[in-house]
Amino acid sequence: MNAKVNADAVRLLDNLAARRKALRMSLRAVAERSGLGLRTVQRVLSLRDPSAKLATVIQIAEALKIELRPKEAGSARVVRKKAAAAKAARLASMVQGTSSLEAQAIPKNDLREIEAEIAGRLLSGSPRQLWAD
């Protein structure tokens, strides 16, 4: 699991734990209201399990009267452009690394042009090329 996803998961679970405390609701009450076992609720809300199942987190959130809604990170166009730019930078850095090994480093401006060209090809080509690692 990448660090950002893990940090977001911990922040969400921390918010749930804070909500429980603000409501002055016992862990036992959360367990009863959510239909989960007390040990499960304790483990999730103690932040010892940031990889808890989504269904479990949703059950706890509902017991605490918190509505979880997905939030888009941007329009599909923006997300695709960011993904293309990130992948293009990664691929261009491989070219730069190979050139460095051959003692022929690529100037930064040329590298940026290569990145832009790769990103353009990723956006206009097959979606499989864009999303494959």
Domain of 101 in residue numbering reads as 76-131
Q: Is the domain of 36 the same as that of 86?
A: no
Q: Is the domain of 46 the same as that of 19?
A: yes
Q: Is the domain of 19 the same as that of 59?
A: yes
Classify residue 102: in a domain, yes or no.
yes
**Stronger pLDDT, 101 or 98, i.e. the higher one:** 98
Prediction pTM value:
0.59
Domain count, the chain: 2
Predicted pLDDT of residue 1 = 45
Task: List pLDDT tens digits, range 99-115.
Answer: 655 557 778 888 889 99
Q: Is pLDDT at 2 greater than 70 in this prediction?
A: no
Q: Is the domain of 81 the same as that of 53?
A: no
Q: Is the domain of 88 the same as that of 125?
A: yes
Q: Is the domain of 7 the same as that of 59?
A: yes
CA distance 9 to 11: 5
Q: Is pLDDT at 131 greater than 70 in this prediction?
A: yes
